[in-house]
């Protein structure tokens, strides 16, 4: 299972680009994680999108739940809006961390992360990564 973290427009940028990017994916299941410690799972698609994971009461429990209960999932997109948020996900390897940074002042750069200043380029990158899985 491929796990990709996407930080959507960190900082004060109010419009989220992840919804535009999701239109590029042929098939996905979106779960809202804000304020949750568990999800009610229902026949997830090949791609599972965990939105607002940084605002979950237990991000680790949610990710663990997805990994343990779904055999058909090929990739999981962990969506947050804070590139510095630490999820503390033991035994989980996040293969890529993509940061969509379209604010007028670029956010701080951290080695090992892929930064995109253009939403279309970010969409293409995410689409290509998920298609390859």
Query: What is the structure's pLDDT at 43?
Result: 85
Within 9-122, strands assigned E span: 28-32, 47-51, 75-80, 96-100, 114-116
Query: What is the structure's pLDDT at 96?
Result: 93
Query: What is the structure's pLDDT at 54?
Result: 92
> Is-contact 27 47, C-beta < 8 A?
yes
Classified as helix, coil or strand, 8 is: strand
Helices (H), the chain: 18-22, 59-69, 119-132
Neighbours of 95 (CB within 10 A): 12
Distance CA 27, CA 105 (A): 33
Q: Examine the pLDDT at 133 and tell me if it is beyond 70.
A: no
Query: What is the structure's pLDDT at 31?
Result: 95
- The pTM score is 0.88
Weakest-pLDDT range from 8-12, 16-20, 82-86, 96-100: 8-12
């Amino acid at each position: 299972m491929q796990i990709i973290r996407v930080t959507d427009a960190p900082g004060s940028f109010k419009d989220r680009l992840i919804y535009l990017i999701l239109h590029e994916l042929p098939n996905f299941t979106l779960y809202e994680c804000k304020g949750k410690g568990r999800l009610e799972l229902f026949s997830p698609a090949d791609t599972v999108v965990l939105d607002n994971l940084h605002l979950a009461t237990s991000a680790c429990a949610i990710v663990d739940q997805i990994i343990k209960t779904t055999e058909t999932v090929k990739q999981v997109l962990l969506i947050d809006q804070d590139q510095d948020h630490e999820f503390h996900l033991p035994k989980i390897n996040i293969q890529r961390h993509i940061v969509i940074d379209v604010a007028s002042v670029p956010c701080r750069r951290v080695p090992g992360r892929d930064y995109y200043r253009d939403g279309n380029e970010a969409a293409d990158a995410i689409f290509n990564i998920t298609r390859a899985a």
